[in-house]
Amino acid sequence: MAHRSPLGALAGAALGAVLGAVAARAAYAAFKRRPPLGDAKTADEYWTRTNHRGEPVTLLEGPAFVAGAGAAVALTPGIPARLKTAGLLAGVGSGVLGAYDDLFGTTSSKGFKGHLSALARGEVTSGAVKILGIGATGLAAAALSPSSAGTQPGRAGRVFDTLVDGALIAGAANLANLFDLRPGRAIKVGLLAGIPVVASSLRADSRAATLAAIPLGAAAALLPEDLGERAMLGDAGANALGALIGLAATVRLGRPGRLVLLGTVAALTAASEKISFTKVIAGNPVLNTIDMLGRRPPQAPAAGQAQ
């Protein structure tokens, strides 16, 4: 583990969060002027989608998050070179794959089960490409990441931990995307998941604290655009946010903690195939209050429309 004083670890995490925030805002402004595909006149063709209200929003928030968080991972001191590489593989890799699905995906198959079922029939969907690709980048990141206490000696133990960590990184990337259905929701979930990782790492492992703080800073900086319903993370941003927090958790937690967290991620992912997270959140007063913080009120039904 990397031990620093709690004050030094806090300073490192704060620096990472600030660099993530500044880089994400700079990337968003740059992409608004010159989108990654096309130009300012043709950007709508690639990057505009319709939100839950039927209003147009831009997907450029996602690439901005990926670029900003990636730049901060590369530039923030206190993160070892191998962990920087793991962070870039997890964050940028899942972000690029998510952007591919954002731009070229279809709705013929939906959900984890739907894409894998299509793949079993011989149909390679963009979602299947993303799922398999994020699994591969998560596994590669896990191979480079220094897992915390709990790793058993020997090749079998290392292989097992790499598989668990890879599944956790990829699963967290997918789970974060499942919450990107309402303004600010995926970012709020990311903050609620990531802040405890930062707080618990300040005394235990400063690397995990700094690594987790970077995507939180980038996400918080883009939250006003998301809550204002001007932009959304899309698959690119949500996948990258989840992957980076998942990677930080693998650094912070021992084997038992990682197994429990992986089980939780798997259970929530499986549940999403059967139940609507939006309905569950709307039906719980506490979750609904958090979900609505900073958002526009729900759209009132038109005159004569059924309630």
pLDDT tens-digit map of 92-102:
999 999 999 88
Q: 306 falls in which pLDDT band (50, 70, 90)? A: very low
The least confident of 2-16, 157-171, 254-268 is 2-16
Do residues 94 and 132 make contact, with C-beta atoms less than 8 angstroms apart?
no
Q: Is 228 exposed, middle or buried (0-12, 13-18, 19+ CB in 10 A)?
A: middle
**Token pair for residue 3?**
């031990």
Residue 304 vs residues 11, 53, 299, 300: alpha-carbon distances, Å: 57, 18, 14, 11
Q: Residue 292: is its pLDDT beyond 90?
A: yes
Q: Residue 307: is its pLDDT beyond 60?
A: no
Condensed to tens digits (0 to 9), the pLDDT of residues 109-165 reads: 565 555 566 666 666 676 778 888 999 999 999 999 876 434 555 677 888 999 999
Mean of all residue pLDDT scores within the chain: 87
Q: Cα separation of 157 and 147, whole Å?
A: 12
**Token pair for residue 304?**
């004569």
User: pLDDT value at position 146?
Assistant: 76
Q: 203 falls in which pLDDT band (50, 70, 90)? A: confident
The least confident of 142-156, 188-202, 257-271 is 142-156
| Segment holding 105, helix H or strand E | none
Using DSSP's 3-state secondary structure scheme, residue 163 falls into helix
**Token pair for residue 117?**
């079922």
CB neighbourhood size of 4 (10 A):
18
Averaged over 19-30, what is the pLDDT? 97
**Token pair for residue 181?**
């259905």
Q: Cα separation of 178 and 59, whole Å?
A: 16
Averaged over 233-249, what is the pLDDT? 96
Beta bridge partners of 48: 58
Q: Which amino acid is at 262?
A: L
User: pLDDT value at position 267?
Assistant: 96
Q: If you ran DSSP here, which 8-state letter would residue 190 be given?
A: H
| C-alpha of 163 from chain center | 20
